[in-house]
Structure 1
Amino acid sequence: MKKANITVVGLGPGRFGLITLESWQLMQQAEHLVLRTRIHPTVAEIEKRGLKFTTYDGFYEEAPDFETLYTHIAKDLLQRAESEGNLVYAVPGSPLVAERTVVLLRELAENSLVEVNILPGMSFVEVMYTRLGIDPIEGLTIIDAEDVGTLKERPAQSLVVTQVYDPIIASDTKLMLMDLYPDEYEVTYIHNLALPDESIRKIPLYELDRQKDVDHLTSLFVPAK
């Protein structure tokens, strides 16, 4: 029996032009296009170009935590592919950078009748390198804000904290980082990267949760110095 296919593509880190040409062509050709969420800067342009899609935004309201949510999404994708046929699944950024649903999808697909193909995409990290003028070859640790507490000591490398998506997470992140760095340690606050209203500004660590524009497009760069 021929396996159904799920092709995973990335929506890029911000503006529409950062979607790869290969991913865009597959999205245009998809019989079933599924987005993890419509809360992404490229979605308005995708709609303007006439593409029809469904999203998993409704799942967010039902799940008690993110791991449950992402597992539910991965299982549903497999079920849909088995019943409806090939589909294209689009996620924010790059499919293999801080995208838990893709990790779970690959694991669950091993024991299913569905084949998962993942295309490379541009993540916020590539844009950040350019904006901050840093070379990742010098060493960089990337961690989700919810995992900052797993750091038992100050990293020897510079640190990027992703998914600082609301004031509560920003406050928790600040407190955990202040166990490793001085309260006034200068960090770089990154918001709306690769968008027209992009903001990159240096602030003391203790002011992280005082920023007025904290949302799902907020990250933090902590230099090694």
Structure 2
Amino acid sequence: MPKITVVGLGPGRPGLITMESWQLMKEAQHLILRTRIHPTVAALEKEGLSFATYDDFYQEAPDFETLYRTIAGDLMQRARKMGNLVYAVPGSPLVAERTVVLLRELAAGSDVEVEILPGMSFVEVLYTRLGIDPIDGLTILDAEDVGTLTGCPAQSLVITQIYDPIIASDTKLMLMELYPDEYEVTYIHNLALPDESIRRIPLYELDRQHDVDHLTSLFVPAPQE
């Protein structure tokens, strides 16, 4: 039975990739990355690892859901043709990674085995930097899902995938339906990298930040009683 092993590239520094994942990527005959746009990819290249990516698929897909379904389907086809392969995703395979969810669904009851290895995501670094304990209550949302909130949450929020100024503006407007315009939030950029920036800003300034990109997240603290 062909097998797809899914590993995580960690939140930013190469040292945060698990040793098990490093070893599997080094030994992989077929290594495929969802995207090469991630800080640890330079370390893979320095190690001399060869890999394919799905970056070209981003240009052709009309939306992210179509993109992720196409990637998952292509992985299944490649596994049937190539046999065993390793699929590497940013962060942890089990945190905010839609392609892994879809891949698991496609593999259920099929002729392809999928093994998902644990990895470190940005949230573990976030807990440390902000001094928060998720046991107190924390909701993690993709920026595109903020609109699904029907009221001001009692828990703190972590919002991911604020990858450009347009998404930042949309996210701000949706949050301002729930929180005061000047509500203090924490802007997080390049977490776990040397130029990491964590700063408190009023909510209305979210889309005015100069460094919004694919490594931008937001922490919205729970309202104080």
- TM-score band w.r.t. shorter chain: over 0.9
Map Cα deviations across residues 149-174 of structure 1 (whole Å, 9 max, x no partner): 00000110101000000000000000
Residue aligning to 2:91: 93
Map Cα deviations across residues 44-99 of structure 1 (whole Å, 9 max, x no partner): 11101100000000000000000000000000000000011100000000001000
Map Cα deviations across residues 158-192 of structure 1 (whole Å, 9 max, x no partner): 01000000000000000000000000000000000
Choose from 205, 208, 212 the match for 1:207: 205
Please list, as runs of the form range in 1=range in 2, the aligned pairs for 1:135-150 lying within 5 A after superposition: 135-150=133-148
Structure 1 counterpart of 2:89, which letter? V
Q: Helix, strand or coil: the match of 1:80?
A: helix
Q: CA deviation at 1:110?
A: 1.3
Residue aligning to 2:42: 44
Residue aligning to 1:82: 80
Residue aligning to 2:178: 180
Q: CA deviation at 1:113?
A: 1.1
Mind listing any 5+ residue stretches in structure 2 that lack a counterpart?
none
Please list, as runs of the form range in 1=range in 2, the aligned pairs for 1:58-69 lying within 5 A after superposition: 58-69=56-67
Q: Aligned pair 1:192/2:190, yes or no?
A: yes
C-alpha separation in 1, matches of 2:175 and 2:126: 20
Q: CA deviation at 1:111?
A: 4.0
Residue aligning to 1:115: 113
Map Cα deviations across residues 11-54 of structure 1 (whole Å, 9 max, x no partner): 00001110000000000110100000000000011101100000
C-alpha separation in 1, matches of 2:152 and 2:117: 34
Residue aligning to 2:158: 160
Choose from 70, 73, 83 the match for 1:72: 70
Residue aligning to 1:221: 219
How many matched pairs?
Answer: 223
C-alpha separation in 2, matches of 1:147 and 1:136: 20
Q: TM-score when scaled to structure 1? A: 0.98
C-alpha separation in 2, matches of 1:111 and 1:140: 34
Once superposed, what is the RMSD of the aligned Cα atoms?
Answer: 0.5
Q: CA deviation at 1:196?
A: 0.2
Structure 2 counterpart of 1:50, which letter? G
C-alpha separation in 1, matches of 2:13 and 2:182: 33
Identical aligned residues as a percent: 83
Q: Helix, strand or coil: the match of 1:37?
A: coil
Please list, as runs of the form range in 1=range in 2, the aligned pairs for 1:17-56 lying within 5 A after superposition: 17-56=15-54
Mind listing any 5+ residue stretches in structure 1 that lack a counterpart?
none
Q: CA deviation at 1:112?
A: 2.3
C-alpha separation in 1, matches of 2:110 and 2:171: 38
Structure 2 counterpart of 1:215, which letter? D
